Structure 1
């Protein structure tokens, strides 16, 4: 069957399924995009399927791709990177009969076998007609409406206002965009009147769930997974710890919902002592290369983030951007992650995210994190994607990413899932900028390996399990890392362990630990006296309000 006919058929089937079975519609459109990744209408239609499935964050990512491709098609005769292929595919699909089911498959199949691909130059493709220009304009409008309304739904009020404002300047005649702008404007004004900062007005929340098509997540509580993880934990702890399945309190993002789940638990993993452990004893040490630093403070090894000896350092043979503390670290970096990063500028990740962005900007526009910690998390995402490219694997299959906890299956209604912080800059623009810097095709290649759902899944794992080390002089975070075994230790505001990380993650006991006791670490500063402040700090990593013994006790005594 001819590719354009196959795509047209998939799109028609997706349209039929959209209302009754949006997941099937999503799968059909994903199949169509695998054949024709530069057709903006396909991304826009899959964005609608994402909305039907309850994922406005993913819808924004697809609609943004549609916007980029509309511009590419309009510039196809100016030798744009994807416009020529996109315009040919877009026209080919549109030229198919409205009902592709009525066509003769055998004839089409035979015809496809006789077709030979021929090279075409930019002059040979017809110019865009007035009708085509109008249709592309409509796709652009629909994508902008979806982005702005979805940002509003998520709670990214200031982003929604800015994108609607930018969109109205492009399409001043569109009344729907004006309505969205007016609604966003009212909400932003209300927030500012209440003293809400612009930083807070940009941040929204999205569902922190395992997407139904994500087949990379292991069954974390299966005997096979637990046995596999114990090989790592046993080595890192010298036999002091073991992994077991445990029951943890169910967490919800809304404090008003807490009473409904106060007696409910969820099956998770925990780490338990295999022997009595005395106070103030190092009981654990783990190394990871999924670690990053901001290079603004003390010089650190790019691979392990250990301190550098100025008289004994090793650099990349092709660039002077990074230094290593040993030939071991240098060789490991070259083998596992550095080649795609060699010589590229990553300073954009440290620029302010509060620069006003037009929704019509391209993937290389300034898009960055707004705090030092977020910048480090973006660097962790960059390192993860570079590892995937170097090792030629899906990023969700890399160790330790595969076994890190990030999300859970959606809970049964009416329960609400945990949430994940979301901003347009951090989770959409920055991702496209990273892909551009890595020279990854953001449409064709990224569909099955670096799609927005991949990066949001990685983001949830980073947010839930990353450690961050602060510079003792500046007080600013300078290092962030992901460690498999460390991530398995659950949180408690009254911990029995304290971690420290130089080139390795290490745990020391804060008190005597008995054999069979679950060991806990604190994901925030346990010296914070206010349980409300601790919960606020922990919301991002836990995905809900902390319900450890200390927080429950203090919240009951001082509601």
Structure 2
């Protein structure tokens, strides 16, 4: 091949000469006159893009205001600030260039270094979507991704660009086989994807999923990467770590767990992310919260209260939270709250439920059925004109006729709870999209505390070994799966005709995780319909923002019922339970005095203490610390069938 002279005036001149040479080796097909005209127009577009393109995102520069590397090494707090600053800078640049695949990989790596493998996996997955789009010009994001990547490549050193193309040419000559490159695609983009970016995608995605405990997905992407990069040492190492983790799964003696039964879910950090500016100061906004409470009850008010910390980091730790208190004496059996929510979901495709409030619809042909109203566009049914109008004002236009009805419906009982969380997320995203606000700014979720763990101390080592999910040194109590936390939310957004790249500041993995943290432990659930059907797991769920401000106790002073509206009623009889040593304790008196805290129950209070504690770890992120669930007490009333509760 002819040697390129150092006096080549520009990248475009060099590439023109390379393209002519490549064509002689069948790497490029002969272009007709129309194709040449299209290529010329494309070059003009690229030239315009180059003038506005950001610097090459092979690594993000430290902002000028950030401390030097030496200062950061001496000051862990400066290092933490710098990393958060890099996240913010990367996201800001992605708002300007949302289809920039290399920049997604930079952000994914930053998340991984910060100890957020779940966020790293979500960002790497978006890079994979762009990668797939680049392989097919018919894909939705192909043109935008190609233009962005071309502008990035053109900012790289000319010598490196020439070397990549020459290596491809030499490999073809050596193998004496026709090129596998698609002549319809940009040759240089294809080669850079093969030599650089696609390998990084598979490395980041498989390692991040391994650290999240998603063994099956981690193995899938490690194997896919090795099909292309057969000799890559890092992918080989990651695959070995996945197989080793599978070998150590608990199973019967002398039996290996089939790979198809390996877990594809785990736990990740449950915290208020340092860059989250949407979480309100609930203590400073108590007046506004109490105005919202008046819509549900004139007998209750919200105050601050010190509660035992559930993180497990400090057994004597105290967490200041909100609680609900009686403004007057409340007699046993008296109703004290009635709240309607449109943040609802049901996972049954055919059950006759109101789409807005999830109440059972009246019998077909009954006088009450005359109140039922259906959407004229998509035939979704509402129990009343009020629910229809409320849905139209709140969320329904974002979902109307968008083919979302079958998402997460009629699932297996073991998947019922996760399906409901996904559907609650779908409703929240639709509300945000229609109301044109950030999902975390919705009144239905804004003031709910997600039982977040404290942000780790400055300088704390988060993972002692990036090869092991068990090496995390901080609590991980937010359930996570690749399907429910990443794939399905992005799929739902695409069904809603939302560009997941251009709207990343509104809809991203850390936002999904924050919403899930708020839903878990606060969303009420029940079986749908009537009659003695077999237990199938929860089928209907809702988030009632005022109801869930009442703190949990295994000895509650209220009971609740939900069927369209959720209602608090003062218990007519308190729970009988045993204290330490098995001593039977005196029941608390029924009724609630003025100034007394409203004690809600988020689980079936007749469950044995061990099962209540297990529920609390999954829903609240830690052990229940009420007097009845402290280590020592036992409760031996026979367990009854659960039909309603928080899941």
TM-score range (shorter-chain normalised) is: 0.7 to 0.9
2:349 and 2:410 in contact (8 A); partners too: no
Q: Secondary structure at the match of 2:604?
A: coil
TM-score w.r.t. length of structure 2: 0.72
> 1:538 and 2:616 equivalent?
yes
> 1:49 and 2:95 equivalent?
no
- Picking from 247, 264, 270, the partner of 2:317 is 264
> Structure 1 residues 410, 5: CA separation in 2 closer, same or farther (over 3 Å shift)?
farther
Q: Secondary structure at the match of 1:431?
A: helix
Q: Secondary structure at the match of 2:272?
A: coil
Q: Hey, what does 1:523 align to over in structure 2?
A: 602
- Picking from 381, 397, 400, the partner of 2:441 is 397
Residues 71-118 of structure 1: per-residue CA shift (max 9 Å, x gap): 21222xx3322111211111112222669xxxxxxxxxxxxxxxxxxx
Gaps of 5+ in 2: 1-46, 70-78, 159-182, 461-472, 572-589, 637-647
- Mapped to 2, the partners of 1:424 and 1:479 lie a distance apart of 23
- Picking from 325, 337, 342, the partner of 1:284 is 337
Q: Hey, what does 1:94 align to over in structure 2?
A: 153
> 1:469 and 2:469 equivalent?
no
CA displacement at 1:433 relative to structure 2? 1.1
- Picking from 41, 66, 76, the partner of 2:127 is 66
Gaps of 5+ in 1: 100-124, 253-257, 354-368
Q: Secondary structure at the match of 1:81?
A: coil
Q: Hey, what does 2:390 align to over in structure 1?
A: 332
Residues 367-425 of structure 1: per-residue CA shift (max 9 Å, x gap): xx961121111111111111111111111111211112215373453683562100001
Q: Hey, what does 2:161 align to over in structure 1?
A: none
1:13 and 1:25 in contact (8 A); partners too: no
Q: Hey, what does 1:431 align to over in structure 2?
A: 489
TM-score w.r.t. length of structure 1: 0.83
Residues 9-54 of structure 1: per-residue CA shift (max 9 Å, x gap): 3837724469842222212211221121112111111101111222
- Mapped to 2, the partners of 1:273 and 1:199 lie a distance apart of 50
Q: Hey, what does 1:171 align to over in structure 2?
A: 229
CA displacement at 1:168 relative to structure 2? 2.9
CA displacement at 1:192 relative to structure 2? 4.8
More displaced 10-residue stretch of structure 1: 421-430 or 517-526 = 517-526
Aligned pairs (5 A) from 1:189-268: 189-193=247-251, 201-222=263-284, 225-238=285-298, 240-252=299-311, 258=312, 261-268=314-321
- Mapped to 2, the partners of 1:553 and 1:79 lie a distance apart of 61
Residues 161-201 of structure 1: per-residue CA shift (max 9 Å, x gap): 33323433343332321211121112113215359897782
More displaced 10-residue stretch of structure 1: 504-513 or 189-198 = 189-198
Please report the RMSD computed on the Cα atoms of aligned residues, expressed in angstroms: 2.9
> Structure 1 residues 199, 333: CA separation in 2 closer, same or farther (over 3 Å shift)?
farther
- Picking from 411, 416, 431, the partner of 1:387 is 431
1:7 and 1:32 in contact (8 A); partners too: no
> 1:374 and 2:418 equivalent?
yes
1:411 and 1:417 in contact (8 A); partners too: no
Q: Hey, what does 2:510 align to over in structure 1?
A: 453
Q: Secondary structure at the match of 1:92?
A: helix
> Structure 1 residues 399, 177: CA separation in 2 closer, same or farther (over 3 Å shift)?
same
2:215 and 2:263 in contact (8 A); partners too: yes
CA displacement at 1:65 relative to structure 2? 0.6
- Picking from 242, 247, 251, the partner of 1:184 is 242
1:251 and 1:418 in contact (8 A); partners too: no
> 1:315 and 2:394 equivalent?
no
> Structure 1 residues 209, 508: CA separation in 2 closer, same or farther (over 3 Å shift)?
same
> Structure 1 residues 87, 467: CA separation in 2 closer, same or farther (over 3 Å shift)?
same
Q: Hey, what does 1:506 align to over in structure 2?
A: 567
Normalized per residue, the structure richer in helix is 1
Q: Secondary structure at the match of 1:147?
A: helix
More displaced 10-residue stretch of structure 1: 448-457 or 288-297 = 288-297
Q: Hey, what does 2:356 align to over in structure 1?
A: 303
> Structure 1 residues 4, 30: CA separation in 2 closer, same or farther (over 3 Å shift)?
farther
Residues 455-488 of structure 1: per-residue CA shift (max 9 Å, x gap): 1111111113211112453333221111110110
More displaced 10-residue stretch of structure 1: 54-63 or 541-550 = 541-550
Q: Hey, what does 1:363 align to over in structure 2?
A: none
Residues 249-278 of structure 1: per-residue CA shift (max 9 Å, x gap): 1112xxxxx4x5111101110111122222
Q: Hey, what does 2:628 align to over in structure 1?
A: 550
- Mapped to 1, the partners of 2:625 and 2:143 lie a distance apart of 55
Total equivalences in the alignment: 504
